[in-house]
Amino acid sequence: MEHHTCFHCGLDATNSEIIFDEKSFCCNGCKTVYEIFSENDLTCYYDLQQAPGSTPKEIEGKYNFLDNEKIVEKLLEFNDGKTQIITLYIPHIHCSSCIWVLENLSKIHPSVSFSMVNFGKKNVRITYNSETLSLKNLVILLNSIGYEPFISLDDYSPSKKIIDRSLIYKLGFAGFAFGNVMFLSFPEYFEVNEFWLEQYKPLFRWLMFSYSIPVVFYSAQEYFISAYKGLRSKILNIDVPIALGILVLFIRSSLEIIYDIGPGFFDSLTGLIFFLLLGRLFQQKTYSFLSFERDYKSYFPIGITKILPNGKEESVQVYDIEKGDRLLIRNEELIPVDCILIKGKAHIDYSFVTGEAKAVTKKSGDKLFAGGKQLHGIIEVDVLKSVEQSYLTQLWSNDVFKTDKEESFTSITNSISKYFTIAILSIAIISTSFWLFTESSKALNVFTAILIIACPCALALSAPFTFGNILRILGTKKFYLKNASVIEQLAKIDTIIFDKTGTITSNKNSNINYEGTNLSDEEALILKSTLRGSNHPLSRALYELLNDHNIVSLDNYQEYIGQGIAGQYKETQIKIGSAPFVGYTNENTSLNTIVHVSTNNTYRGKFTFYNAYRKGLSHLFNKLKKEFDLVILSGDNEGEKENLTKLLPGKTKLLFNQKPEDKLEYIKYHQSEGAHVLMIGDGLNDAGALAQSNVGIAISENVNVFSPACDAILDASKFNQLDRYIKLSKTAIIIIKWSFALSFMYNIIGLYFAITGQLSPVFAAILMPLSSISVVVFTTLSTNMAGRKLK
């Protein structure tokens, strides 16, 4: 048969036989989206990008909470009763087609008057008429075209984030003043002594002076604040010599023009501040579509269905849930509070909370913990604790989440600036006292000249430009860092701790091993047909694994909750499930997940589920073991211990059954012994450990969706490149040291002129930008060279 892919989403559509408009589709959902687009003349969607769509999901009842007006009010950006504006986060936004179709939303529904996409943030801002289109229907409309928005408890927070644009203002002003001052000081550079120029000199100078006032007191204010803070806590950070340099530059220049001695250094002053701010902007690379600050709120739903005593259903806000309430949890919904199962079959996926790989089945009367996800069917539960008091959410009351890692860390620039400042001050004092004895009129001139020329502009730019560029390079390799200081921390790491489930194992597939007598073709066929009927996660996994068979319709099929499934076809009976269910008695206790099979009451064999480890895991560990201590901290049981000892280098420590707090304490203990710990995890259960470690990296199969608070997010497909990334961060430190050397060289040249009392404004105006630019060029070129080695 000819191979087809879905015209809408690009998945395989060979077997689906859904043809519409001479195009094949993988499912009816995709076909429906195509129909909507073609009816509304929006098929350009498919011209801009091949197969850009996603299959709309079943969301029956999922957005009922949007009927609750209090919740809606909190989500809206603007509401006058008629026109409403909302910004929705849509993870699927990924290409130009997405932008195009979302911005043409008004063609699909006339009540939408305006929609604008922010591609970087993956959100869309929609203005619509609430009289004809409710928010709930808008969300359903978006879902029907495959763009399901993601609404979590995080959106419910009362204060919206204010965008900080002050750096752009400051930079804009510094650039503006820098350009103008340059023009005005141009005549002075050539010292032509032309009559008219001489005449207007004072005017030009005072203009320059007035341009520099806001630059010094507005644009550069952060350097003064930071220097003051540093001095108060007795740290000579890099901002101390910078602030000193700026201050001296400004005071000396002002005095020069007041007493009509010379033109001052306003050009160097404004240029210096402009370049410094440029460095800051460059370092401030942020991944606006990623969030590094997530806590449980980003995972939790806003609203949940509550069953009132009279049997009616009502959507309530999660914070309003009280002890004793009866809740309805639908398929694929997250349980927001600790509760007791009352009704229904619960298959709970706790992988976010505990790191346990397999979903667990619970009977009515069992306790369910917050953070679990119901996988199949509807359940009813009674609430035991409110959201804030639940087991999972209490982890966030730990102190680690309140400390700022960046503050407690001395950066490479600050550690060198201590010696730098002391050296400069002593040079200044020594040469000033020398001049005091030889030619006292020049002493003050030399003193200020030294402080001006030694102002560590190039030094201060080395780190921002190197780290900024490394950040960008790593970003293109799908390793997203929160900020530049993470690179420095990463270069110091000596211990690497891995979580197991979801980190070194892959969530997507598991290995299944069959032991026992071989099944005949017919039996295999029945096995697959029987599994098809079950929604249990293990059945699904097994079903996916078995080779292609045709499906037969069974004569008889029954599911026994918590035990297994049974099917019958013609003469053959098959039972799949737990050992007692299939009548297998001599089972050795095993920690692995096992599914047994029997046909016609004869035991045939068992399927054992093993974790599937990520590609290149063993290779990666062997490369890492030379330089780092490796540890695996797993929340799971010891079932995989044997497998792991075979796979990983001998000295890797393996610890199992670790609770979230245990992981945190383990890292804390090793840090107290002087270790620099890199923690790599994925779930909420690692959140504490990620926060406690020096660098916490979250592994994510899909970087747009879920990752706990961390310092960096690594795309799962790049996991085996980890050693190269660490190496690159070490190279970055070496590059910075070299560019320090380069900027010292400029300083020495400048100091020679300053000490001998020959520093002229032109010279300063050339040397300062020259040193800054050459440092920027050097760091950019060398980081790009280093980055080229990455795959």
Partner 1 sequence: MSVIYIMLTVSIIVAIIFFVAFIFAVKNGQFDDSYTPSVRMLFEDELVKEKSNKSILTKKD
Q: Which is nearer to partner 1, 241 or 263 (CB)?
A: 263
Determine the distance from the C-alpha atom of residue 580 to the mean position of all C-alpha atoms in its chain, rounded to a whole number.
46
Given a contact cutoff of 8 angstroms between Cβ atoms, the answer to whether 604 and 516 are in contact is yes
Q: Which stretch binds partner 1 (CB under 8 A): 195-203, 230-238, 378-386, 649-657?
A: 195-203
Query: How is residue 32 written in tokens?
Result: 């429906």
The least CB distance from residue 205 to partner 1, in Å, is 13
The least CB distance from residue 497 to partner 1, in Å, is 36
The least CB distance from residue 196 to partner 1, in Å, is 5
Q: Which of 23, 74, 121, 718 binds partner 1 (CB under 8 A)?
A: 121
Residue 691 has what DSSP assignment? H
120 scored as a contact of partner 1 (CB under 8 A): yes
Query: Interface mask (CB under 8 A) for partner 1, residues 307-326, using x and -?
Result: --------------------
Query: How is residue 664 written in tokens?
Result: 């945190």
85 scored as a contact of partner 1 (CB under 8 A): no
The least CB distance from residue 643 to partner 1, in Å, is 44
Q: Which is nearer to partner 1, 31 or 575 (CB)?
A: 31
199 scored as a contact of partner 1 (CB under 8 A): yes
| Nearest Cα residue to 300 out of 396, 371, 380, 389 | 371
Q: Which is nearer to partner 1, 96 or 637 (CB)?
A: 96
Q: Which stretch binds partner 1 (CB under 8 A): 40-48, 247-255, 665-673, 733-741?
A: 40-48
Query: Interface mask (CB under 8 A) for partner 1, residues 45-74, using x and -?
Result: --xx--------------------------
**Cα-only R_g, the chain:** 33
192 scored as a contact of partner 1 (CB under 8 A): no
104 scored as a contact of partner 1 (CB under 8 A): yes
Q: Which is nearer to partner 1, 144 or 608 (CB)?
A: 144
Give the Cα-Cα-Cα angle 645, 646, 652 (nearest 5 degrees): 35
109 scored as a contact of partner 1 (CB under 8 A): yes
Distance CA 45, CA 33 (A): 11
Q: Which of 5, 67, 76, 119 binds partner 1 (CB under 8 A)?
A: 119
Looking only at the bridges linking them, the beta strands covering 495-499 and 346-349 are unpaired
117 scored as a contact of partner 1 (CB under 8 A): yes
Q: Which stretch binds partner 1 (CB under 8 A): 100-108, 304-312, 374-382, 761-769?
A: 100-108
641 scored as a contact of partner 1 (CB under 8 A): no
Residues that bind partner 1 (rule: CB under 8 A) add up to a total of: 37
For the chain, the residue count is 791
Distance CA 313, CA 298 (A): 25
281 scored as a contact of partner 1 (CB under 8 A): no
The least CB distance from residue 707 to partner 1, in Å, is 22
| Nearest Cα residue to 628 out of 651, 654, 658 | 651
Q: Which of 112, 126, 141, 387 binds partner 1 (CB under 8 A)?
A: 141
108 scored as a contact of partner 1 (CB under 8 A): yes
Distance CA 122, CA 118 (A): 6
Q: Which stretch binds partner 1 (CB under 8 A): 3-11, 41-49, 448-456, 699-707?
A: 41-49
Distance CA 612, CA 502 (A): 10
Distance CA 222, CA 226 (A): 6
What kind and span of H or E run contains 354? none
Distance CA 174, CA 168 (A): 10
Provide the edge-to-edge strand list for the sheet that holds 695-700: 479-481, 712-715, 695-700, 677-681, 495-499, 629-633, 653-655
745 scored as a contact of partner 1 (CB under 8 A): no
The least CB distance from residue 168 to partner 1, in Å, is 5
The least CB distance from residue 515 to partner 1, in Å, is 54
Query: How is residue 788 written in tokens?
Result: 């080229």
Q: At what angle do helices 195-214 and 239-258 cross, to 10 degrees?
A: 140
The least CB distance from residue 108 to partner 1, in Å, is 6
Query: How is residue 671 written in tokens?
Result: 């840090």
472 scored as a contact of partner 1 (CB under 8 A): no
3-state DSSP call for residue 303?
strand
Distance CA 235, CA 626 (A): 36
* 111-118, Cβ contacts within 8 angstroms, sequence gap of 24 or more: 112/138, 113/83, 117/93, 118/288
The least CB distance from residue 119 to partner 1, in Å, is 4
Q: Which is nearer to partner 1, 46 or 725 (CB)?
A: 46
Distance CA 431, CA 757 (A): 10
44 scored as a contact of partner 1 (CB under 8 A): yes
The least CB distance from residue 8 to partner 1, in Å, is 17
194 scored as a contact of partner 1 (CB under 8 A): no
- Which residues have CB under 8 Å from 18's CB, separation 6+? 24, 25, 26, 27, 28, 31
Q: Which is nearer to partner 1, 74 or 109 (CB)?
A: 109
39 scored as a contact of partner 1 (CB under 8 A): yes
3-state DSSP call for residue 693?
coil
Q: Which of 15, 96, 286, 513 binds partner 1 (CB under 8 A)?
A: 96
What kind and span of H or E run contains 659? none
Q: Which of 196, 397, 515, 585 binds partner 1 (CB under 8 A)?
A: 196
Q: What are the angstrom distances between the C-alpha of 669 and each of 634, 654, 666, 672, 710?
A: 17, 16, 5, 5, 20
Distance CA 598, CA 603 (A): 4
The least CB distance from residue 249 to partner 1, in Å, is 23
Given a contact cutoff of 8 angstroms between Cβ atoms, the answer to whether 456 and 242 are in contact is yes
3-state DSSP call for residue 370?
coil
Q: Which is nearer to partner 1, 118 or 643 (CB)?
A: 118
Q: Which is nearer to partner 1, 41 or 521 (CB)?
A: 41
Main-chain phi, psi angles of 312, to 5 degrees: -80, 155
Query: How is residue 252 written in tokens?
Result: 């000396």
Q: Which is nearer to partner 1, 28 or 618 (CB)?
A: 28
What kind and span of H or E run contains 276? helix 266-283
The least CB distance from residue 110 to partner 1, in Å, is 6
Q: Which is nearer to partner 1, 183 or 669 (CB)?
A: 183
Q: Which is nearer to partner 1, 200 or 228 (CB)?
A: 200
Main-chain phi, psi angles of 596, to 5 degrees: -100, 155
Q: Which is nearer to partner 1, 37 or 447 (CB)?
A: 37
The least CB distance from residue 768 to partner 1, in Å, is 23
562 scored as a contact of partner 1 (CB under 8 A): no
Within 13 Å, how many C-alpha atoms sit on residue 115's CB side?
Answer: 26
Q: Which is nearer to partner 1, 105 or 318 (CB)?
A: 105
Q: Which is nearer to partner 1, 36 or 655 (CB)?
A: 36
Instruction: Report the sign of the C-alpha dihedral through residues 678, 683, 689, 693, in that order.
Output: positive
329 scored as a contact of partner 1 (CB under 8 A): no
202 scored as a contact of partner 1 (CB under 8 A): no
The least CB distance from residue 41 to partner 1, in Å, is 5
Query: Interface mask (CB under 8 A) for partner 1, residues 146-185, using x and -?
Result: -----------------x-x--xx--xx--x---x-----
Residue 5 has what DSSP assignment? B
Q: Which is nearer to partner 1, 112 or 491 (CB)?
A: 112
Distance CA 477, CA 221 (A): 36
Binding site for partner 1 (CB under 8 A): 36, 39-42, 44, 47-48, 96, 99-100, 103-104, 107-110, 117-121, 141, 144, 163, 165, 168-169, 172-173, 176, 180, 196, 199-200, 203, 207
